[in-house]
Amino acid sequence: MKVFSPDKIRNVALVGHSGSGKTTLAEALLFRAGKIQRLGTVEDGNTVTDFDDEEKARGMSLSLAMAPFEWKGHKINLIDTPGYVDFAGDIHAAMSVAGLAIFVVSAVEGIEVQTEYAWRVAEELGVSRMVFINKLDKEQASFERTLAELRERFGAGIAPVELPIGSGPSFHGVADLFRDKAWIYDSGHAEVTEMPEDMVDREHEVHDNLVEGIVVADEEMLEAYLEGEVPSVEELEHTMAKGINEATVFPVVCGSATGPIAVDRLADFIVELGPSPVDRPPRDVTAGDTHVDVVCDPDGDPLAFVFKTIADPYVGQVSMFRVISGRVTPEMHLVNSRNGQDERLSRIATMIGKDTELVDSLPAGDIGVVTKLVDTKTGDTLAPKGSPVRLPAIGRPQPVLAQALIPKTQADEDKLANAIHRVLDEDPALRLERSDETHQTLLWGMGETHLAITIEKLRRKFGVEVETEPMKVAFRETITRKASAEGKHKKQSGGHGQFGVCQLELEPLPRGAGFEFDDQIKGGAIPRQFIPAVEKGVMETMADGGLNGFPVVDVRVRLVDGKYHSVDSSEMAFKMAGRLGFRAAMAGAGPVLLEPISRIEIVVPAEYQGDIMGDLAARRGQVQGSEADRDGRQRIIGQVPTSEIVTYANDLRSITQGWGRFTATHDHYQEMPSHLAAKAIAEAQED
């Protein structure tokens, strides 16, 4: 593929809900551009961008994929993104390098969950937006209903620039509202004709509304329009392009990806109205302690941003990057701004699906791939040596569901650490943590599907077999009243024996206070050098678990008396005495179980607010407040026992039909009701 100047490049993310037809649309664009000779289908698993075995098996996109192609002297870097909620992290990655997001919306199902989610991401990042209403050739399809939904959800900036000709199976073309012409696809390719008579009135009405919506954005054009001067098509397109770049106008086009009908028109709009990297605002980057703006200049210092990595068991790590400034060439050395690692970019390529094509250089604004970087991860910046420049990290949703990983064999355990870290590098939406309290290795993800596919990837790509079990909740123990006991360790066996006695008093501390050790020894009842051993024995016992096996917290231990032997006493003897004394005293101190409480924040459409509050109450939760955000959704804040929300990601989706989202963080511990504590203790003892 030849080298294009930045003004001839368009970086485009295809986003939308799963099943809206994004991958099919990518296939149709490649077909119309002559990049492929036949249209693959998602059902048959032979599309360019869904090339992974798991994607073929499930019939859905699981990771973003590149599909660059040439169109009328321009290069369009198409990024096909997953539409399933579990893989929303790739939407953030694609938006971080795209100048234009095309929202693929089904004319049958209308706006769905991921469409709205992706819109908010694009809005936060200031990415330009365009809507492609797809599936107009299907039964029950409605352009007008879908357009009304778009306006209701996304506001007055929604601007249709095409109307469908025909509906359902009779859909066969589109009306161009800029030029008052019809594009008919009865022969498979577009034939430009006059507007059908039955559409003239409707087309003129929408055309006038479109013109009025465009001229409002330009004072000079508005003044001339009010004086009766009709702006030219070129003037209208120029003004609309400005509104698109500023993310204030969102044109709506329509068609059918399976037809393919009006797909070539979409490509025309991308190159005619879509922003190039030069049109986009400068990138705000950090340079040490300061912020600087970096413009898209092919003659500037080379600067590249890695937005996605792929763990390949054969070629190693594949890093997708966008050139922010300058020009990147093979054998170039750049430095990772995060860790100072010198990286040699041995071979530079573009990527279409799973295939790569080597290139001699990539200028500012373009997107490519490089393999075998030493220590570069998603979100890293590659800059010239001595430059501290670093781009902001990619935003990503927080993982909400965890499963514990259990290697099947010793060989699997030996390979797991390396394999899981390669998978984590590929998918930053995953998180791995080790719980010292429950002794579980927890893999956090966005949902059951996300975790299941990750585990399958470990098996298929890296040959690591793991089983899973639910996340265990880290309970704790404490005491409710004062108690005292003696700890005596006495052992005699040839030679020096072991002797140590300590008198301990326990009392409860406020919740969250932790542990205090109060030395009250007087008159040398225990030599000073042995007192730390008593404290160590107590602390080890608290960590190992109280009477029910859970770590003990919020206790003050007072050492008030003791006995020692001039020959047989030792640090070990007094440590054992401390352990024995603590256990004996705790038995009489009214031990209770503490459960973790999470602070939860849930965002749902207003119609689900009552259901969510009722569900939280059923989970022993307490709602602390709620408020409407600027999109009219309800933000509900509360506290709920962590044990009640271990699988809340699945439950919330079920309650809200997928529209609800939440985050949960540990807040504090509180006493668990006795009947539930007994059940938790029984389960722990069974384990």
Span of 8-12, 173-177, 566-570 with lowest mean pLDDT: 566-570
What does the pLDDT look like over 376-407, one tens digit per residue?
999 999 999 988 899 998 988 899 999 999 99
590: alpha, beta or left? (left if phi > 0; alpha if psi -120 to 50):
left
For 242, the token pair is: 């400005």
pLDDT at 1 over 80: no
pLDDT at 325 over 90: yes
The C-alpha atoms of residue 319 and residue 683 are separated, in whole angstroms, by: 46
Ranges of CATH 2.40.30.10 domains, the chain? 283-390
Domain 477-590 indexed as CATH 3.90.550.10: no
Contacts of 16 (CB under 8 A, 6+ apart): 22, 83, 103, 104, 105, 112, 114, 115, 118
The CB density around residue 198, as the number of other CB atoms within 10 Å, is 8
Ranges of CATH 3.30.70.240 domains, the chain? 593-686
pLDDT at 678 over 80: yes
Ranges of CATH 3.30.230.10 domains, the chain? 477-590
Contacts of 614 (CB under 8 A, 6+ apart): none
What does the pLDDT look like over 345-388, one tens digit per residue?
999 999 999 999 999 999 999 999 999 999 999 999 999 998 88
For 621, the token pair is: 């939760």
What does the pLDDT look like over 428-483, one tens digit per residue?
899 999 998 888 999 999 999 999 999 999 999 899 999 999 999 999 999 999 99
**Could you tell me which CATH number the domain at 6-273 has?**
3.40.50.300
Span of 37-51, 151-165, 260-274 with lowest mean pLDDT: 37-51
Sign of the Cα pseudo-torsion (269, 189, 13, 650, in order): positive
The C-alpha atoms of residue 108 and residue 369 are separated, in whole angstroms, by: 37
pLDDT at 196 over 70: yes
pLDDT bin (cut points 50, 70, 90) of residue 272 is very high
The CB density around residue 57, as the number of other CB atoms within 10 Å, is 10
CA distances, 310 to each of 65, 81, 228 (Å):
10, 14, 57
* Mean pLDDT, all residues of the chain: 93
The C-alpha atoms of residue 221 and residue 198 are separated, in whole angstroms, by: 31
Q: What is the pLDDT of residue 683?
A: 83
Backbone angles phi, psi at 469, to 5 degrees: -145, 160
- For domain 283-390, the CATH architecture is Beta Barrel (2.40)
DSSP for 533-599, written as a single string: HHHHHHHHHHHH-STTSS-B-SEEEEEEEEE--TTT--HHHHHHHHHHHHHHHHHTS--EEEEEEEE
Q: How far is CA 509 from the centre of its chain?
A: 40
What does the pLDDT look like over 81-128, one tens digit per residue?
999 989 999 999 999 999 999 999 999 999 999 999 999 999 999 999
Q: Cβ distance 636 to 626 under 8 Å?
A: yes
pTM attached to this predicted model:
0.90
What does the pLDDT look like over 36-59, one tens digit per residue?
988 888 877 889 999 888 888 888
Ranges of CATH 3.40.50.300 domains, the chain? 6-273
Q: What is the pLDDT of residue 375?
A: 92
**Beta strand 173-176 pairing with 181-184:** antiparallel
SS3 198: helix
Q: What is the pLDDT of residue 404?
A: 96
**Could you tell me which CATH number the domain at 593-686 has?**
3.30.70.240
The CB density around residue 148, as the number of other CB atoms within 10 Å, is 13
Contacts of 668 (CB under 8 A, 6+ apart): 511, 512, 596, 597
Which one, of 302, 320, 300, lies nearest residue 310 by Cα? 320
Which one, of 107, 80, 119, 40, lies nearest residue 254 by Cα? 107
Q: Cβ distance 35 to 47 under 8 Å?
A: no
pLDDT at 20 over 70: yes
**Beta strand 65-71 pairing with 74-80:** antiparallel
Q: Cβ distance 156 to 144 under 8 Å?
A: no
For 111, the token pair is: 């706006």
Report domain 401-472's class: alpha beta
What does the pLDDT look like over 617-652, one tens digit per residue?
999 999 999 998 877 889 999 999 999 999 999 999
Ranges of CATH 3.30.70.870 domains, the chain? 401-472
